[in-house]
Amino acid sequence: MKKRTVTCIVVSASVLVVALFFVFLSFLKNLTNPVDYNYGAQTYPYLVQEYNGKIGVFRNNEKTPFQVVDLSPALLPPYDQAALEEGIPIRNESELQRILEDYAS
């Protein structure tokens, strides 16, 4: 009986360690993904973010932008610079065009 109890404890502890390992890996994966378009329950198809000293437009969790605007964020007001550092989630193409036009003017 004592041997059976020890075996149950060892198996339970092993399962717990494996489960914690997978939770930890999932946590690390989320930390290393710099572009996340999920904000609450809403998913955004575009993200406007500073990219190599310019403004990049990303989509579909891609690591490189599909469009780069030749405008330095350093020329923008501090609020816009901070927003571009964090990344600005964009709902649709018309909102994307509006924000890019705002930055260009």
Q: Are residues 72 and 92 in the same domain?
A: yes
- Structure confidence at residue 96 (pLDDT): 93
Q: Which tokens is 27 given?
A: 């946590």
Contact 39, 90 (CB under 8 A): no
The residue behind tokens 């003017």 is 105
d(CA 77, CA 73): 8
- Structure confidence at residue 30 (pLDDT): 47
Q: Which domain holds residue 23?
A: 1-32
Q: Are residues 99 and 49 in the same domain?
A: yes
Q: Are residues 94 and 44 in the same domain?
A: yes
Q: Are residues 44 and 85 in the same domain?
A: yes
pTM to 2 decimal places: 0.60
Contact 35, 61 (CB under 8 A): yes
Q: Which tens digits make up the pLDDT trace of 9-47?
A: 766 666 655 555 555 556 555 444 444 455 555 678 999
Q: Are residues 64 and 95 in the same domain?
A: yes
Q: Are residues 62 and 18 in the same domain?
A: no
Q: Are residues 53 and 97 in the same domain?
A: yes
Q: Are residues 60 and 22 in the same domain?
A: no
Q: Are residues 19 and 57 in the same domain?
A: no
Q: Are residues 19 and 51 in the same domain?
A: no
Please report, for residues 45, 76, 91, 98, 99, the alpha-carbon distance to residue 102 in angstroms, rounded to integers and kept in the order given: 19, 11, 16, 6, 5
- Is pLDDT larger for residue 26 or for residue 96? 96
Comparing CA positions, the residue from 58, 56, 86, 83 lying closest to residue 71 is: 56
Which amino acid is located at 74 in the chain? A
The domain tally of the chain equals 2
Q: Are residues 20 and 63 in the same domain?
A: no
Q: Which tens digits make up the pLDDT trace of 42-84?
A: 678 999 999 999 999 998 778 899 999 999 999 999 999 999 9
